[in-house]
A and B are shown apart, each in its own frame.
Chain A
């Protein structure tokens, strides 16, 4: 019966390890889920305050400014309905440009600015992040002439 005992303990230990591993994996999963929000959603208060999330839209032309001589830069992101200010203080990816699509990862500061830790820009000439495209296509930006 010793062998059977050993086997039961072995299986029990492995089972426990697997449950623990599954729990840890689940936790890792939840903490790394990044949700996407458009500027309008952010201004409407739908975006989380403490959690990291993705903010996407177009970079407003003429809104990009640097604190001269430093790496800190600010620009506005729009979905043609509302704008959010984004602050970023690292090197920008090559494809980042005013008037083009952008996705930023980061958190909201208390004053409503979005402090980004990652900036992703367009990948090729035919690419706009799909969620950016969707949120922009739905906006009614056109007043009657």
Chain B
């Protein structure tokens, strides 16, 4: 009898191996920067000062939006999800939400032409030529939207198109409550 039992348990080895592997993969997924909210949440939004998209002689900087709750949106003219969220950004702008843009990895003329064509929801857009501001904000890709409070703290960092569900479900509640990391 015991012979059968000792023989039988080894058939469970593959299942056990898979379980261990799955645990590692799960952990690996959790560590993905897009999965986790970034360490920047509840931190001060990094300072920056970049040329304005519309008028390069002027500058757009973090100081411009101090004292108000704003959205900071990283975008460009050719990324499809940016186009996807654009109508909603226009809606938000229409109801009075201040949205600042960071135009990243783009061509200035194309960016301006596109805004002309589809509408400009931004109070102002800064051009991040080098990409170091985007990196400082821990931007994972585009589009990415930050909700920043009047004191300059990042409340929410959202990667992907901004939808009414995200706005209502993630951003609006964050504005009322104390800053919390998930």
Contact = CB atoms under 8 A, between A and B. Distances in A.
State if A and B touch, Cβ cutoff 8 Å: yes
Interface string B59-77: 0010100000000000000
Contact of B48 (A130, A134, A142): A142
A61 B48 contact: no
Nearest to B137: A137
A136 B47 contact: no
Interface string B118-145: 0000000000011110011110111000
A80 B49 contact: no
Q: Taking each of B48, B63, B130, B137, which has the highest tally of chain A beta carbons within 10 Å of its own beta carbon?
A: B130
Given A130-B33, A133-B33, A142 B46 contact: yes
Nearest to A139: B136
Given A126-B142, A130-B33, A145-B63, A80 B135 contact: yes
A105 interface: no
A130 B137 CA distance: 14
Contacts of B135: 58, 80, 133, 136-137
Contact of A145 (B40, B47, B105, B129): B47
Interface residues of A, number: 19
7 contacts: A58-B135, A80-B135, A133-B138, A137-B40, A137-B135, A142-B48, A145-B47
Contacts of A134: 33
Nearest to B131: A99
Contacts of B49: 145
A99 B136 CA distance: 14
A54 interface: no
A133 B140 contact: yes
Nearest to A142: B47
Contacts of A61: 130
Nearest to B59: A145
A61 to B, nearest CB: 6
B34 to A, nearest CB: 10
A142 B33 contact: no
A126 B105 CA distance: 10
Nearest to A138: B39
Contacts of A145: 47, 49, 61, 63
A62 B61 CA distance: 24
A141 B131 contact: no
